[in-house]
């Protein structure tokens, strides 16, 4: 496709589908890789985004058949792509072909009938209550940055927010009297989430010293040491820093680990699965059901540890 074709397609994803910038970039890269693979073969998937690559071409997409799509996905996994990444590449191609079919730019959709790669259902890693307590209490709250970090960790765990949702929180998104937070999730979907008293107390404490971190000219709650907006990567660094300090044996603990921990702990305490689905902002209940497997595995471990004949 020409640059104009690609811009039109990406604008459709951005405006009508509310795709994030990250997803737009990934889809554009996937479609470009597919066209490059059809033109240049196996070398295409070894190129980086910065290297020269055959431009995505509508003419190339028109020539592609089901065998080409299957060969591309198979080669992607052979070249080291995970099944999840290969599934995303297929989703990008499906979306592009569906768009250009509607515009009558292509006559055949070669992605129809092709199954997505089977994804392994790895159970998410979660922290125990003592571990999450140690993590939340790790920041030095005698400093403005320490108060910010404590508030960020408390809100992540209390509300089950994604890192991007935390970074995007604005002053008007926290309703202290109602003990709720308005989160802007994927595809700009809003949801209301309860927030606990510990997180509210940490937030109020941080907001008392927020202006000490520069003079923010915006209403985003969480700021960096210069008063600028906190990025998703910065949220990840905050979590990683305190994990190294108080949970040195833990590996790959991220903001999403706190989200997993939030869901698992409230399910363990008897929360309804659909309530958890709503709080997490999952479109499908199947996305939430993985936490029931985590809880069952915990029960099995307790049984094995406690029962004399286990």
Beta strand 190-194 pairing with 174-175: unpaired
Active-site residue identified among 53, 259, 260, 265: 259
Distance CA 216, CA 221 (A): 9
Give the Cα separation of 65 and 77 in Å (integer): 19
Residue 186 is among the residues annotated as catalytic for this protein: yes
- Whether residue 12 lies in the annotated active site: no
Residue 88 annotated among the catalytic residues of the structure: no
Rounded to an integer, what distance in angstroms lies between the CA atom of residue 117 and that of residue 83? 6
Let me know: does 272 contact 265? Beta carbons within 8 Å: no
Catalytic residue among 53, 88, 89, 162: 162
**Which of 14, 186, 191, 250 is an active site residue?**
186
φ, ψ of residue 2 to 5 degrees: the values are -75, 170
Hey, which residues does 32 pair with through a beta bridge? Answer: none
Q: Is 291 a catalytic residue?
A: yes
How many other β-carbons are positioned within 10 Å of the β-carbon of residue 298? 15
Dihedrals phi, psi of 159, to nearest 5 degrees = -110, -10
Q: Which two tokens stand for residue 25?
A: 């970039």
Catalytic residue among 9, 206, 242, 291: 291
Q: Catalytic pick from 53, 148, 210, 256?
A: 256
Active-site positions read 162, 186, 256, 259, 282, 291
């Amino acid at each position: 496709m020409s640059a104009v074709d690609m811009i039109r397609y990406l604008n459709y994803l951005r405006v009508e589908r509310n795709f994030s910038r990250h997803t737009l970039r990934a889809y554009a890269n996937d479609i470009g890789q597919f066209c490059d693979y059809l033109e240049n073969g196996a070398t295409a998937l070894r190129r980086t985004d910065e290297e020269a690559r055959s431009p995505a071409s509508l003419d190339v997409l028109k020539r592609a058949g089901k065998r080409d799509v299957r060969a591309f996905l198979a080669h992607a996994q052979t070249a080291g792509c995970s099944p999840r990444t290969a599934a995303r590449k297929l989703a990008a191609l499906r979306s592009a072909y569906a768009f250009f079919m509607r515009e009558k730019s292509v006559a055949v959709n070669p992605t129809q009938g092709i199954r997505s790669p089977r994804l392994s259902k790895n159970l998410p890693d979660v922290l125990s209550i003592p571990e999450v307590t140690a993590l939340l209490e790790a920041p030095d709250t005698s400093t403005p940055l320490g108060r910010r970090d404590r508030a960020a960790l408390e809100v992540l765990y209390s509300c089950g927010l994604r890192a991007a949702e935390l970074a995007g929180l604005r002053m008007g998104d926290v309703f202290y009297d109602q003990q709720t937070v308005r989160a802007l999730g994927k595809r700009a979907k809003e949801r209301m989430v309860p927030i606990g008293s510990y997180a509210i107390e940490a937030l109020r404490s941080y907001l008392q010293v927020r202006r000490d971190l520069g003079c923010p000219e915006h209403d985003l709650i969480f700021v960096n040491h210069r008063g600028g907006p906190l990025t998703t990567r910065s949220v990840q660094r905050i979590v990683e820093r305190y994990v190294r300090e108080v949970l040195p044996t833990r590996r790959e603990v991220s903001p999403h680990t706190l989200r997993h921990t939030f869901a698992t702990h409230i399910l363990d305490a008897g929360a309804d699965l659909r309530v958890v689905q709503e709080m997490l902002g999952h479109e499908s209940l199947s996305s939430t059901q993985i936490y029931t497997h985590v809880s069952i595995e915990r029960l099995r471990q307790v049984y094995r540890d406690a029962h004399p004949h286990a």
